[in-house]
Amino acid sequence: MASLIKQHGLYYVQFYNGKRRPKQKRVPLRTRTKQTALKLKRQLEDEFAIGAFDPWLDDTIYIEGEEISKDSTIKEALDQYIKVKSKKDWRPNTAKNAKYVLEDFVRKISNVQPVGGITEDHFNTFLNRTDIKYETKRSHKKKLKTFLIWLDENNLAKLNSKKLHVNNDGGEQEESINYFTKEDIDKLTSYISGKVAKDLQKGFQKKETNALWLIDFIHWQRLSGMRLSETLNLRANDINTDTWEITIGNAHFVTKSKKKQVLPIQSVEPLKEIARRKLAECSSEDDRLFGHSCRRHTNRLFNRYLKKALPNKTYLNIHSLRHTCCIELLRAGVPIYTVQRWLRHADVKTTQRYADLLNMDISEQVGRVLK
């Protein structure tokens, strides 16, 4: 009567009836466990057989015992979305940041608005307010897009994520990937070195605590491609100097994928050199490699020097160093799947965005090999 389908790690029941339109109707089960999925499948088949459930007519979905339908309010749908994502995908900080943006979105369109009446215009109106900067709009878009897709996949609203757009100066602007050139890196690190030297002479910075650590930090981010939170939470004992493997994720920090990840740097001498230097400064195995833990302070310090060293490139930020790593590897001809593993992208499609940005000459690349 129905078939069980697994897609993106989640299970669905797909009903078929050649006389109905569409002929196939898929129902999300919201579970990753096959045993649970089979139990729910049998339950829905039984209900369908006695007429208590019709996937072609019934818009209601069942998630963890709660009913959400197109007639539910957008606030009820959001609460359920946050509950599900927090349990399965999100880290605490991710949940906190997403909740802040999405609850603001829901307040602005009215908490009691039926979720079935939500359109892409509601999202775009919120995104393109004049009181927020372009970079903030881009950040908001990522959070809104995943919520929109969830609403659509669960048949709560008919929405298309491709219709979301971000305006800049009144016109729609394509999303871009910002990255540093090697000249940018040289200018930035040289400026930091010179400025700290002057500040030390004037007594504005101390010999024991100054901003010179940013230079090693910048090179580390560019070469490793690690995320800011990953680097700041890196401890001395996360680096195995026998195998030169870096373990990302420890008792103090959960990675984006919620799994421990390994970065092999045995053949990457510049990273090993920085690691040796920073490890020598650690007094215990539990010390942070770079001695700093605050994201906000690190971002502010970095941006302060960036504005002075590269005044025309203030759109760059610390995360741009991760982009830079990816761009440099692809430009050097490193296979895209190798780059994906180095950057630890969950999907190669993410890495492909960088390759598309470079608009690489396929003929030239193939010509290097086929001689």
**Residue-range domain boundaries for the chain:** 2-58, 74-172, 182-318
Q: Is the pLDDT of residue 371 over 70?
A: no
The residue with greater pLDDT, 161 or 325, is: 325
Class of domain 182-318: mainly alpha
pLDDT digits (tens, 9 = 90+) for 202-241: 999 898 889 999 999 999 999 999 999 899 999 999 999 9
Half-sphere exposure of 256 (CA within 13 A, CB side): 10
Confidence tier at 167 by pLDDT (50, 70, 90): confident
H/E/C letters for each residue in the chain?
CEEEEEECCEEEEEEECCCCCCCEEEEECCCCCHHHHHHHHHHHHHHHHCCCCCCCCCCCEEECCEEECCCCEHHHHHHHHHHHHHHHCCCHHHHHHHHHHHHHHHHHHCCCCEHHHCCHHHHHHHHCCCCCCHHHHHHHHHHHHHHHHHHHHCCCCCCCHHHCCCEECCEECCCCCCCCCHHHHHHHHHHHHHHHHHHHHHCCCCCCCCCCHHHHHHHHHHHHCCCHHHHHCCEHHHEECCCCEEEECECCECCCCCCCEEEECCCCHHHHHHHHHHHHHCCCCCCECCCCCCHHHHHHHHHHHHHHHCCCCCCCCCHHHHHHHHHHHHHCCCCHHHHHHHHCCCCHHHHHHHHHHHCCCHHHHHHHHCC
Assigned CATH for 74-172: 1.10.150
Q: What is the pLDDT of residue 369?
A: 56
β-pairing, 61-63 with 239-240? unpaired
pLDDT averaged over every residue in the chain: 85
253 pLDDT band, cuts 50/70/90, is low
- Structural contact between residues 16 and 28, judged by C-beta atoms closer than 8 angstroms: no
Whether omega before 22 lies within 30 degrees of 0, making that bond cis, reads yes
What does the block give as tokens for 139?
């950040």
**112-152 pLDDT tens trace:** 888 888 999 999 999 988 888 777 888 899 899 999 998 98
Helices 336-343 & 348-358, crossing angle to 10 degrees? 120
pTM of the model: 0.61
